[in-house]
A and B are shown apart, each in its own frame.
Chain A
Amino acid sequence: MTIWTELADVDFRQAYVDAGGIRTRALQAGPEDGEHVVFLHGTTGHLEAFVRNIGPHARRYRCHAIDMLGHGYTDKPDKPGEIPAYVEHLLAYLDAVGAKKAHLVGESLGGWVAAWTASEHPERVATLQLLCMGGTKVNPEVMQRLKTSTTAASLEDDIELTRKRLRLLWAEWDDDLGDELTEVRYDIYHRPEFQKNLHNLLALQETETRERNLLRPERMARISAPTLVVWGNKNPFGDVPEAHAIADAIPGARLEIFPECGHWPQHEQADRYNPLSLEFLAEAS
């Protein structure tokens, strides 16, 4: 099994889209006239987080898995990666592809960005899926671990550090795609532009910056889009009570807890996630 074979039956395109001056890598698939679904990865991540979801969703929806600002192979302007900048970039992408409205699926940081977008620009967001969403807490230990492990994986030669960084995320090592995803992440992490930009990429792991961007209950209460919160009960970056707090803060939100699952529910338990997501999207349409 490889990323290629996962996508073998999918009519997809890897595009580089000019989103408000930011050259943005996007994996696009699905009917041109389908409702737009945008998939947003986590901190230091990349669009490959959704390789198991594109195929099933592209049967019905116009799918876009993008590398967010400063991430993956997307441009990395020299400014701190704060949430409003990510939101601005996302909206610029939507404008560039002619999407007036989109369903947003965000994992971790991606969820933080998606939720913020829904709270500020409700007219652009059809539905919201928040997968192990970050941004509701300041946990200095987790932040420090993320900074150190990412910096080590990016700057030191040893690919084991990147493998370790991925191991952190999942409840179980992915025997099928784990090695390939390690190679992908290693390549991204070792691009000089990525290394130069580390301090901007990790800006939200600094307490003062994080506080400024925190997703507080008052903000989440403003979200009107139908929302599905998905959480792995073995999420290393936030415990199940956090998921409940989020689902409680967002009006009408639905909560699904995946057992034996870590930080990437959409990937670790794609067979459970895909039908759940498709059902949720269909319900909302």
Chain B
Amino acid sequence: MTGIRFGYADSSLGQLHYAECGTGEPVVLLHQTPRSWDEYREVLPLLGATHRAIAMDTAGFGRSAPPAEHGIEHYAAAVLEFLDALGLDRVSLVGHHTGGVVAIEVAASAPERVERLVLSSTPWVDAASREARATRPPIDHVPVSEDGEHLATLWRRRQAFYPKGRPDLLTRFVRDALVLGDDVEAGHHAVGQYRMEERIGKVSAPALCIGASADPHAFPQLGALSSRLNNAKVVIVEGGMVPLMEEHAEEVVRVIARFLT
């Protein structure tokens, strides 16, 4: 982990944990559910070559203090407090999956704080999606069993969405998920309640939508999201799956860096 430095920022919720690398224009990276800054472990030193890359543990995840309640608006408010604590007036935001939803809310609620927006594998959530998500079974929540079988179930549920031959990535996922205990589903639930159609119109920052062609849930929604943003650019990473940031860090950083200049 060359050059990654860790820190805590004070907020009304308590301490917010982050990892950063590099100097220059600040870029804040927001992870998916149920991950942490570790989702950006490969990206940080690469993006850190040209920017000040900061991966935050979303409030309620990793080592960050929990919000009063889980919800996209609460996560976004914590991001803004985080920016205040670090003295960052204006940043670019990168969000992957849930992280992208949070980034949208930050950009909608405080447009003056957001330079550019990169939304990677970010879902489009409207009334029809909210209804569909309400009846979906839990994505990551598995009841604990005395013999540890729940750990295997947690692993296997994600396995189909991960590249073959990368148990290290599944290990990192499981490690992050275990920290959350029963709250592991909270981020997914938060996305499923978000009224994106009411907020998207307030996003003025130039946006780039990244689609991972082998992410079966996110990819089909790429057009639904990009077409509703103002002049959003779209880039597709072929063969990218759910852990896009870890598997395709070099390509993603190339795309992001090109967009941010």
- A residues contacting B by CB (< 8 A) are 78, 144, 147-148, 151-152, 154-157, 192, 194-199, 202, 206
A-B contact pairs, 10 of them (CB 8 A): A144-B213, A147-B213, A155-B209, A155-B226, A155-B234, A156-B236, A195-B227, A196-B224, A199-B220, A206-B220
Residues of B contacting A78 with CB < 8 Å? 128
Tell me whether B220 and A198 are in contact (CB under 8 A): yes
Main secondary structure of the interface of B (DSSP, over half): mixed
> Does B222 lie at the interface of the complex (its beta carbon under 8 Å from any beta carbon of A)?
yes
> Does B233 lie at the interface of the complex (its beta carbon under 8 Å from any beta carbon of A)?
yes
Q: In the complex, which residue of chain B has the Cβ closest to the Cβ of A161?
A: B236
Tell me whether B213 and A148 are in contact (CB under 8 A): yes
Residues of A contacting B234 with CB < 8 Å? 155-156
Tell me whether B236 and A151 are in contact (CB under 8 A): yes
Given contacts A147-B213, A148-B238, A156-B234, contact A196 B220 (CB under 8 A): no
Tell me whether A199 and B236 are in contact (CB under 8 A): no
Contact of B222 among A144, A151, A157, A197 (CB under 8 A): A151
Tell me whether A196 and B213 are in contact (CB under 8 A): no
Complex: how many Å from CA A206 to CA B216? 9
Residues of B contacting A202 with CB < 8 Å? 220
Q: In the complex, which residue of chain B has the Cβ closest to the Cβ of A154?
A: B223
Interface size on B, residues (CB 8 A): 20
Complex: how many Å from CA A154 to CA B214? 17
Complex: how many Å from CA A209 to CA B128? 18
Q: In the complex, which residue of chain B has the Cβ closest to the Cβ of A150?
A: B223
Tell me whether B223 and A198 are in contact (CB under 8 A): yes
Residues of A contacting B222 with CB < 8 Å? 151, 155, 198
A211 CB to closest chain B CB (Å) equals: 15
Residues of A contacting B216 with CB < 8 Å? 206
> Does B221 lie at the interface of the complex (its beta carbon under 8 Å from any beta carbon of A)?
yes
Tell me whether B213 and A151 are in contact (CB under 8 A): yes
Residues of A contacting B209 with CB < 8 Å? 155
Complex: how many Å from CA A65 to CA B238? 35
Number of A-B contacts (CB under 8 A): 52
Complex: how many Å from CA A144 to CA B219? 11
> Does B142 lie at the interface of the complex (its beta carbon under 8 Å from any beta carbon of A)?
no
Tell me whether A192 and B227 are in contact (CB under 8 A): yes
Q: In the complex, which residue of chain A has the Cβ closest to the Cβ of B209?
A: A155
Complex: how many Å from CA A202 to CA B233? 21
Contact of A157 among B128, B220, B228, B233 (CB under 8 A): B233
Tell me whether A152 and B223 are in contact (CB under 8 A): no
Residues of A contacting B238 with CB < 8 Å? 148
Residues of B contacting A198 with CB < 8 Å? 220, 222-224
Q: In the complex, which residue of chain B has the Cβ closest to the Cβ of A192?
A: B227
Proximity string of chain B (224-261) to chain A, C-beta cutoff 8 Å, 1 when within and 0 when not = 10111000011110100000000000000000000000
Contact of B223 among A144, A148, A151 (CB under 8 A): A151
Residues of A contacting B233 with CB < 8 Å? 157
Contact of A195 among B213, B219, B226 (CB under 8 A): B226
Residues of B contacting A156 with CB < 8 Å? 234-236
Residues of A contacting B227 with CB < 8 Å? 192, 195-196
B189 CB to closest chain A CB (Å) equals: 22
Given contacts A155-B234, A156-B235, contact A199 B211 (CB under 8 A): no
Tell me whether A152 and B236 are in contact (CB under 8 A): yes
Proximity string of chain B (79-101) to chain A, C-beta cutoff 8 Å, 1 when within and 0 when not = 00000000000000000000000
Residues of B contacting A157 with CB < 8 Å? 233
Q: In the complex, which residue of chain B has the Cβ closest to the Cβ of A78?
A: B128
Residues of A contacting B221 with CB < 8 Å? 199
Tell me whether B224 and A147 are in contact (CB under 8 A): no
Given contacts A156-B234, A156-B235, contact A151 B228 (CB under 8 A): no
Complex: how many Å from CA A192 to CA B224? 9
Instruction: Given contacts A147-B220, A151-B236, A195-B226, list 6 more A-B pairs with CB under 8 A.
Output: A151-B211, A155-B209, A192-B227, A196-B224, A196-B228, A199-B221
Residues of B contacting A195 with CB < 8 Å? 223-224, 226-227
Given contacts A152-B236, A155-B211, A156-B234, contact A147 B223 (CB under 8 A): no
Tell me whether A197 and B223 are in contact (CB under 8 A): yes
Q: In the complex, which residue of chain B has the Cβ closest to the Cβ of A198?
A: B223
Complex: how many Å from CA A154 to CA B226? 11
Tell me whether A199 and B235 are in contact (CB under 8 A): no
Complex: how many Å from CA A151 to CA B128? 21
A148 CB to closest chain B CB (Å) equals: 4
Docked complex: B120-145 residues within 8 A CB-CB of A: 128
Residues of B contacting A194 with CB < 8 Å? 223
Residues of B contacting A151 with CB < 8 Å? 211, 213, 219, 222-223, 236
Residues of B contacting A196 with CB < 8 Å? 223-224, 227-228
Complex: how many Å from CA A147 to CA B233? 18
